[in-house]
Amino acid sequence: MKDCNQCGKCCINYGNGGLSATAAEIDGWENDRPDIYAYVRDGKIWMDPATGGQLTRCPWLEQLPGQQKYVCGIYHDRPEDCRHYPVTLDQMIKDDCEMLEPRDLDDARRAQRRLDELMADSRPPVSR
């Protein structure tokens, strides 16, 4: 499995209503990050502050100038859903994650263990 190359597919695939935030995260944004909280409506995230409608893309996904790489504009304050991604190899396959290598598909259990190691600081490992 390769290191993340910042392709942005995860954020693009889930930034249109496929993510959620905990009540504690939303409360924290309300108190400390009103710029993020402006994109919350009725407990849902990434809502258009002007219309209240669901955005089709995460407002915090920033493309690096002249590159096909992306960064998160709220990386340290991003929701747990973002922190925990990717959770499973199946999820990475579905999302066409560029971290995958052909050998990962040949030995899914080894690849899942490697993913759990890579993500150990970001999320709890998947129970098997």
- What pLDDT does residue 83 have? 87
Task: For 19-54, write each residue's pLDDT tens digit.
Answer: 899 999 999 999 999 999 999 999 999 999 999 999
pLDDT in tens, 26-35: 999 999 999 9
DSSP summary character for residue 45: E
Cβ density class 1-15: b for 16+ within 10 Å, e for less: beeeebbbbbbebbb
Token pair listed for 6: 């910042």
